[in-house]
Amino acid sequence: YLMTDWTRVLSFDDVDHPYGDEDDAALEAEVNGNWTPQEKALHEARLKAKAKRRVRKSSSRSESLSESLSGELADGDSYSSKGKVPVPNDRKSRTGKGRGLPKKGGAGGKGVWGAAGMVYEVEEPDVKDPNYDEVAQGDTVYATVVPEVDERELEKTVNPIVREYFEHGDTKEVQMLLKELNLGHHKYEFSSLAVSLSLEGKASHRELTSRLLRDLVGKVLSESDMARAFDKILKELPDLMLDTPEAPQMLGQFIARAIADHALPMAFLDRYKGKVDCDHARAALDRAAVLLSMKREMVRLDNVWGVGGGLRPVKHLVKEMNFLLKEYLVSGEVKEAERCLRDLEVPHFHHELVYEAVVMVLESKGDTAVKMCKLLQAFWKIGLITVDQMNRGFQRVYDELPEINLDVPHAHSIMESFTDLCYQESVITKQLRDSCPSRGRKRFVSEGDGGLIKN
């Protein structure tokens, strides 16, 4: 065919034929009846695949044509859901989905540090970070974490602290030790354990415990903690009476002293009015109420436990020891004298007992020397009076013997005989006996010798 202007000669070969050369050869072979069944099935599959490709291609062309026509007919909307014209640097969705807002609210993308007005918190360095540099972090503060004391280990931890406090009596040291421990919500039990231990001890131990409770309130313990401690002791009172029958009266004195020292709230007794079923607890609360009513004018019940040990005045201790020795001379009971001396709780002042005993021997007559030697021997054997206290008591008498001799003319001779007796009974050492002063006899020749002393 021949055409002019935008025409060309098309041969018959340029026209699409339904079958190619291979297909024609296959068709001719089919006509001739030379195909095998496998070749015939393969040929049919090729024809079907070719037809599908043509249908798919024609359908896509028609869709693109319709979209282009619809885009041209639109009212100039370049952001229609389909067929929209791409805009440079457009961050909106092109799929037709979403609200048409920028991604991540405008806080994402390259070179973007977040949305406008966003404030980032200071990020703590991670120790596990591979880039972590300990030197670059500046001063490092190490904190010691103390685990909480277990309830089963609480008594084993607290008992040595309380018993040591009974020896030194320093409440500040106890405060320091308690602050180092992490007692947690069991800290109120320290007060109950301290009171329980003091009930088994001496009056001086109870006095020290009352002072300790007073000093701990406001620094380590609170009034509510102290109230919980005494509540627990009131519940355990029947068990405490097995070892200490006087526990109700003592606990009442503890409560009264704690209220007077402002360690317990004033309303502690009022909470139990008409609510106590245990007779022992009721006796303890009644004892506390009586003491508070008697000492209403006093700020503290300082003498509720008596003045024990070295807290007593020296004159009072001397008077008590004199009374002890006089009672012994009348009764002759060594055990009672021993009990009275132990109750004074002044082992550092036992030299005063030795001194008073020797002075009584010098000032008295009869068998006083034998009885006193027996008493000192008994105290020496049981270890109640140490060798240091014994030597110190005798040495004080040696030093004051010239003054005693003014009232007792035969003091030197009596002293020599008493020291010999004590040495024989192994009360004093040979060195102490030899150091006993003796009065020298000065014999003058005559009045005309000018006062010369005869050798």
Average pLDDT, the chain: 79
Average confidence (pLDDT) over 302-309: 66
Question: Which tops the pLDDT comparison, 153 or 448?
Answer: 153
By the 8 A CB rule, do 384 and 338 touch? yes
- Confidence band of 43 (pLDDT split at 50, 70, 90): confident
Reduce the secondary structure of 299-354 to three states and give it as a string.
CCCCCCCCCCHHHCCHHHHHHHHHHHHHHHHHHCCHHHHHHHHHHHCCHHHHHHHH
- Cα dihedral sign, 354-355-356-357: positive
Question: Which tops the pLDDT comparison, 284 or 10?
Answer: 284
By the 8 A CB rule, do 188 and 220 touch? no
Nearest alpha-carbon partner for 260 in 217, 315, 312, 219: 217
Average confidence (pLDDT) over 308-323: 79
- 148 has a pLDDT exceeding 90: no
Q: Which of 56-65, 288-297, 374-383, 406-415 shows the lowest mean pLDDT across its residues?
A: 56-65
The whole-number pLDDT of residue 226 equals 93
3-state secondary structure of 435: coil
- Cα dihedral sign, 74-78-82-86: positive
The whole-number pLDDT of residue 198 equals 92
pLDDT tens profile 347-373: 888 999 999 999 999 998 778 899 999
By the 8 A CB rule, do 350 and 341 touch? yes
Question: Which tops the pLDDT comparison, 75 or 281?
Answer: 281
- Confidence band of 394 (pLDDT split at 50, 70, 90): very high
Average confidence (pLDDT) over 267-293: 88
- 164 has a pLDDT exceeding 90: yes
Question: Which tops the pLDDT comparison, 209 or 25?
Answer: 209
Q: How far apart are CA 177 and CA 175, in angstroms?
A: 5
CA distances from 238 to 147, 247, 310 (A): 34, 9, 33
At residue 68, φ and ψ (nearest 5 deg) are -65, -35
Q: How far apart are CA 208 and CA 345, in angstroms?
A: 14
Burial per residue of 55-69, b for 16 or more beta-carbon CB atoms within 10 angstroms, e otherwise? eeeeeeeeeeeeeee
Average confidence (pLDDT) over 313-325: 88
The whole-number pLDDT of residue 48 equals 85
Q: Which of 101-115, 201-215, 424-438 shows the lowest mean pLDDT across its residues?
A: 101-115
The whole-number pLDDT of residue 225 equals 92
3-state secondary structure of 453: strand
Question: Which tops the pLDDT comparison, 105 or 389?
Answer: 389
- 221 has a pLDDT exceeding 70: yes
Q: Count CA atoms closer than 13 A to 176's CA, side-chain side.
A: 5
Nearest alpha-carbon partner for 93 in 75, 104, 116, 68: 104
- Confidence band of 378 (pLDDT split at 50, 70, 90): very high
3-state secondary structure of 109: coil
Q: Which of 125-129, 285-289, 326-330, 444-448 shows the lowest mean pLDDT across its residues?
A: 444-448
What number of other Cβ atoms are within 10 A of residue 443's Cβ?
Answer: 7
- 184 has a pLDDT exceeding 50: yes
Average confidence (pLDDT) over 193-200: 92
The whole-number pLDDT of residue 23 equals 56
